[in-house]
């Protein structure tokens, strides 16, 4: 089972003025993922990477699905937790879909997401497991179970993302995230309308025409707007001051789509061509040697979803 990490590029409508809240845009990643396998065992046991989250998730889903937990779960890789890459959703879906395949339950990804209480605000993590690529979800209405996909597009193969990590902190999550959303001021309806228009009439058409500059500009604008709205809860447009400096540097070098994924602290940007991405990655390392907690990584978009491999062995 392979469940890809994702970048959450921001919410579209936090005002809910038309009866739907949130709505979001994001993209699946290739190089960062959660990989695990489930097989029969005499009793519940684990191997590979130690993860209390994986253990709790497996036991919870076995109880919910009413299936035996006489299983061996091997966790080969895990998305870093609470850094904005969707680790919780992907762990839940990966384990849920592995159980679904093992016990032949006939459930969908969205069934598992609902049973795991995922998709309460954003549907990006669910949709990138289903389809990969760039996803826009339609947010939550009065009767929404999981946010619907309203657009799904491929990212050009030569577009490269640069991620900047800060090892010192984690983005808001759990109850702190819930309380932060409750404490946020009202989001202006006019700004929500502008972001929707910007995405619909600049961002998505630019992606369809592989125009990285116009696509990147729309993401940068959306990120700035949403980041300013969240600034009081996370200490600024970026959670990490050092990540903010690195992103400013990358923008000055020509990178576009400047932003922070989810609550951070991970920052991201977009360039065209692997050579440019590797050169900028090296420049960040050279220019921020004094920021010992920063690290940088070049990654690519994943234009297909999670992988479920069933073995008879």
**In the sheet that 294-300 helps form, which strands lie side by side, from edge to edge?**
256-260, 267-272, 159-166, 294-300
CB distance 72 to 55 below 8 Å: no
Q: Annotate 149-189 with DSSP letters as a single string.
A: EEEEEPPPTTEEEEEEEETT-----HHHHHHHHHHSPPPPH
Residue 228 CB neighbour total at 10 angstroms: 12
d(CA 85, CA 208): 25
Q: Where does CATH 3.30.70.890 sit in the chain?
A: 159-300
Specify the DSSP class assigned to residue 271: E
Report the pLDDT value the prediction gives residue 290, as an integer from 0 to 100: 93
Report the pLDDT value the prediction gives residue 254, as an integer from 0 to 100: 97
Domain boundaries 159-300, CATH class: alpha beta
Assess if CATH 3.40.47.10 describes domain 2-153.
Answer: no
The tally of CA atoms less than 13 A away on the side-chain side of residue 95 is 31
pLDDT in tens, the chain (313 residues): 999 999 999 999 988 989 999 999 999 999 999 999 999 999 999 999 988 999 999 999 999 999 999 999 999 999 999 999 999 999 999 999 999 999 999 999 999 999 998 888 899 999 999 999 999 999 999 999 999 999 999 999 999 999 999 998 777 667 777 787 777 888 999 999 999 999 999 999 999 999 999 999 999 999 999 999 999 888 899 999 999 999 999 999 999 999 999 999 999 999 999 999 999 999 999 999 999 999 999 999 999 999 988 765 5
Report the pLDDT value the prediction gives residue 232, as an integer from 0 to 100: 87
Nearest to 105 by CA among 73, 72, 67: 67
| Cis amide prior to 233 (ω within 30 degrees) | no
d(CA 22, CA 140): 7
Report the pLDDT value the prediction gives residue 307, as an integer from 0 to 100: 94
Residue 209 CB neighbour total at 10 angstroms: 10
Q: Where does CATH 3.30.230.10 sit in the chain?
A: 2-153
Distances from the Cα of 238 to the Cαs of 24, 70, 224, 258, 300, in angstroms?
Answer: 18, 44, 9, 11, 22
Report the pLDDT value the prediction gives residue 170, as an integer from 0 to 100: 72
Q: Does pTM top 0.85 for this prediction?
A: yes
Q: Annotate 56-68 with DSSP letters as a single string.
A: HHHHHHHHHHT--
CB distance 218 to 40 below 8 Å: no
């Amino acid at each position: 089972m392979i469940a890809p990490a994702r970048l959450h590029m921001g919410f579209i409508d936090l005002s809910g003025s038309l009866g739907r809240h949130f709505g979001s845009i994001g993209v699946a990643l290739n190089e960062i993922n959660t990989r695990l396998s489930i097989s029969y065992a005499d009793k519940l046991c684990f191997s590979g990477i130690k993860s209390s989250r994986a253990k709790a998730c497996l036991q919870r889903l076995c109880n919910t699905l009413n299936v035996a937990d006489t299983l061996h779960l091997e966790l080969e890789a895990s998305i870093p937790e609470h850094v904005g890459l969707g680790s919780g959703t992907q762990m839940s879906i990966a384990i849920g879909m592995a159980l679904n395949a093992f016990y032949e339950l006939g459930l969908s990804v969205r069934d598992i997401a609902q049973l795991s209480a995922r998709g309460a605000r954003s549907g990006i993590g669910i949709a990138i497991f289903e389809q990969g690529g760039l996803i826009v979800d339609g947010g939550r209405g009065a009767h929404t179970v999981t946010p619907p996909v309203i657009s799904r597009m491929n990212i050009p193969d030569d577009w490269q993302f640069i991620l900047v990590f800060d090892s010192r902190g984690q983005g808001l999550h759990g109850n702190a995230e819930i309380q932060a959303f409750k404490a946020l001021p009202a989001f202006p309806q006019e700004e929500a309308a502008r972001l929707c228009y910007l995405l619909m009439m600049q961002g998505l058409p630019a992606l369809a025409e592989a125009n990285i500059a116009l696509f990147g500009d729309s993401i940068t604008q959306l990120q700035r707007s949403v980041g300013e709205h969240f600034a009081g809860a996370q200490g600024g447009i970026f959670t990490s001051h050092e990540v903010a400096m690195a992103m400013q540097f990358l923008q000055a070098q020509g990178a576009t789509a400047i932003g922070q994924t989810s609550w951070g602290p991970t920052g991201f940007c977009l360039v065209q061509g692997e050579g440019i991405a590797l050169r900028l990655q090296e420049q960040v390392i050279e220019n921020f040697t004094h920021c010992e907690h920063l690290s940088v990584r070049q990654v690519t978009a994943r234009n297909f979803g999670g992988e479920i491999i069933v073995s008879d062995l």
